[in-house]
Amino acid sequence: MASTAKGPLSGLRVLELGTMVAGPVAATLLGDFGAEIIKIEQPEGGDPIRQSGPMCQGESLWWNVEGRNKRSITLDLRKPPAQQILRDIARHADVLIENFRPGTMTRWGIGYEQLKAINPRLVMLSISGYGQTGPNAGRASYDRVALAFSGFLHMTGYPDRPPVRPGFAVADYQTAIFGALGVMLALYNRDARGGTGQHIDASLFETVFRFTEVMTTAYAKLGIRRERSGNVSYAASPGDHYPTNDGRYLALTIAATNVYQRLCVAIGRPELAQDPRFAEHPARVANYEAINGIVADWIKSNAVADVCAALEANGVPHSLIYSAAEIMEDPHYAAREAIATIDHPRLGPLKMPAVFPRLSGTPAPPLKVAPMLGENTDAVLHELLGMSADEVQSLRSQGIVG
């Protein structure tokens, strides 16, 4: 049995042909728990995320977060000899992750059916904007495009302004999570139930669409069309991002009536718990502006420390809206060890989100620094294919590897 110090996925070999975010992050999530990730990149420049800012001393910090726990080899997959090398490596792999435009891998002779003939146990995850089938399958897509097509952006922002993009690549990261889940489901079926490998078709738009709550059901059944409503939620009242008296914002949302009653005590207005306009949740939603205004006035007219203390004392869920600086200083983040530090050989200590979730019996292994482009080409080709240094150098002179 593998040592838990190596992580619960120790012994799993993953070939990652992805670029930028969704595909590579799916591999990162597996690598965080001990899977061997062999990242295959184009010799000229590699994954574009390596050139995506912010930069520090000429290196991408984003790459150093999502390239962690990986080995990097270069193969120009547009060339037949490199395609054959990929086939040979795939014989030794459990998983292959790619996010090329649908059909690209098949044209190169390394699509799922072609690799399945070589390695029936291979699990292949294909991530694309619109999926491998359907009229939009061949269309290009990015995170923002998927957010638009999924209906997400239609509901994000204020009704009198254009839809607002979230501050992070939501579609990419959500698809990475679903992709990693799909890989684990396929591996469970293969290894615990005597199955074979299979192809996983994950799309950016369907991932986000799955997170749109009851939007489609309510429209199809009741004709309810969700529109942008700012910070107002049909499921909570009062609730908002309230300005504080020191220029920050406090997030607070109330749904359950017993929590609302505790809020009334916290703001020094216990009589509001029996006010018929606010006593029950449907009434509070109908009278949102009135109750929300009362809460907003109380928050704005009191010191932030006093506001938070009163809410905490009465068990009312809330949080100041944190910036990166506040996250770095918060004792709860420190106590949870939610921020990891990697000792980078060129950039020094790099802080980044730690591995999550936490497993009590098989914890994740220590994080490893993201590799330089092609850093492991020679080693991987020797280990898996038995190539000599001269053979690798010959491939390098032909531009097949970098």
Active-site residue set:
172
Q: Where are the alpha helices (DSSP H) in 134-253?
A: 143-149, 170-192, 204-209, 215-222
- Adjacent-strand bridge partners of 349: 343
The one-letter amino acid code at 42 reads Q
Q: How many angstroms separate the CA atoms of 210 and 160, rounded?
A: 26
- Adjacent-strand bridge partners of 350: 342
Q: How many angstroms separate the CA atoms of 14 and 122, rounded?
A: 10
User: CB under 8 Å to 173, separation ≥6 — which residues?
Assistant: 21, 22, 25
Give the three-class secondary structure for 269.
coil
Q: How many angstroms separate the CA atoms of 59 and 51, rounded?
A: 7
Q: How far is CA 382 from the centre of its chain?
A: 33
In the block, residue with structure tokens 């086939």: 87
Q: How many angstroms separate the CA atoms of 357 and 114, rounded?
A: 35
In the block, residue with structure tokens 């504080």: 244
Residue 164 has a CB neighbour count (10 Å cut-off) of 12
- Adjacent-strand bridge partners of 40: 73
Which one, of 43, 54, 114, 39, lies nearest residue 395 by Cα? Answer: 43
User: CB under 8 Å to 282, separation ≥6 — which residues?
Assistant: none
User: CB under 8 Å to 95, separation ≥6 — which residues?
Assistant: 12, 13, 14, 15, 30, 35, 122, 123, 124, 125, 183, 187
- For residue 378, what are the CA distances in angstroms to 49, 94, 391, 399? 23, 21, 10, 14
Contact (CB, 8 A) for 314 and 258: no
User: CB under 8 Å to 357, separation ≥6 — which residues?
Assistant: none
